Amino acid sequence: MTLTLDQTTSRFPIDGRSRQMFIDGAWVDAVSGQTMPTLDPATGQELAQVPRSGAADVDLAVAAARRAFTGPWRRWTPAQRQLLLLRIADLFETHWDELSGSDTLDMGKPLSRSRADKGRVTGMLRFYAGLATTLDGKTIDNSLPGEYFSYTRREPVGVVGAIIPWNAPTAASVWKIGPALATGCTIVLKPSEEAPLTPLLIADLMAEAGVPDGVVNVVTGTGVEAGAPLAEHPGVDKVVFTGSTATGQSIIRASAGNLKRVSLELGGKSPLIVCADADLDATVPTVGLSAFANSGQICIAGSRLLVERSIHDEFVERLGDYARALTVGAGSDPATEIGPLVSARQLERVCGFLDSGRSEGARVVAGGERLTTGDLAAGNFVAPTVFADVEDSMTIAREEIFGPVISAMPFDTLDEAVERANATPYGLAAGVFTRDVGRAHHLAHRLDAGTVWVNTYHALDPAVPFGGFKMSGYGKEGGVEHLDEYLGTKTVWLKLD
265 is catalytic: yes
299 is catalytic: yes
Set 185, 275, 299, 477: catalytic member: 299
Question: Any idea which architecture 271-461 has in CATH?
Answer: 3-Layer(aba) Sandwich (3.40)
Burial of 491 (0-12, 13-18, 19+ CB in 10 A): exposed
Q: What's the pLDDT score for residue 18? A: 83
Set 265, 308, 400, 477: catalytic member: 265
The two beta strands, 46-51 and 35-39, are: antiparallel
Measure the CA–CA gap between 297 and 120, rounded to whole angstroms. 19
- What 3 state SS string does the chain have? CCCCCCCCCCCCCCCCCECCEEECCEEECCCCCCEEEEECCCCCCEEEEEECCCHHHHHHHHHHHHHHHHCHHHHCCHHHHHHHHHHHHHHHHHCHHHHHHHHHHHHCCCHHHHHHCHHHHHHHHHHHHHHCCCCCCCEECCCCCCCEEEEEEEEECCEEEEECCCCCHHHHHHHHHHHHHHHCCEEEEECCCCCCHHHHHHHHHHHHHCCCCCCEEECCCCHHHHHHHHHHCCCCCEEEEECCHHHHHHHHHHHHHCCCEEEEECCCCCEEEECCCCCHHHHHHHHHHHHHHHHHCCCCCCCEEEEEHHHHHHHHHHHHHHHHHCCECCCCCCCCCECCCCCHHHHHHHHHHHHHHHHCCCEEEECCCECCCHHHCCCCCECCEEEECCCCCCHHHHCCCCCCEEEEEEECCHHHHHHHHHCCCEECEEEEECCCHHHHHHHHHHCCCCEEEECCCCCCCCCCCECCEECCEECCECCHHHHHCCEEEEEEEEECC
Q: What's the pLDDT score for residue 175? A: 97
The per-residue pLDDT string of the chain (497 residues; one tens digit each, 9 = 90 and over) reads 344 444 334 555 555 678 999 999 999 999 999 999 999 999 999 999 999 999 999 999 999 999 999 999 999 999 999 999 999 999 999 999 999 999 999 999 999 999 999 999 999 999 999 999 999 999 999 999 789 999 999 999 999 999 999 999 999 999 999 999 999 999 999 999 999 999 999 999 999 999 999 999 999 999 999 999 999 999 999 999 999 999 999 999 999 999 999 999 999 999 999 999 999 999 999 999 999 999 999 999 999 999 999 999 999 999 999 999 999 999 999 999 999 999 999 999 999 999 999 999 999 999 999 999 999 999 999 999 999 999 999 999 999 999 999 999 999 999 999 999 999 999 999 999 999 999 999 999 999 999 999 999 999 999 999 999 999 999 999 999 999 999 999 999 999 98
Q: What's the pLDDT score for residue 2? A: 41
Start-end of CATH 3.40.605.10 domains in the chain: 21-266+472-492
Q: What's the pLDDT score for residue 470? A: 97
Q: What's the pLDDT score for residue 9? A: 43
Start-end of CATH 3.40.309.10 domains in the chain: 271-461
The top-level CATH class assigned to 21-266+472-492 is alpha beta
Q: What's the pLDDT score for residue 146? A: 85
Measure the CA–CA gap between 486 and 180, rounded to whole angstroms. 7
Q: What's the pLDDT score for residue 38? A: 96
Which among 437, 426, 342, 420 has a CA at the least distance from the CA of 380? 342
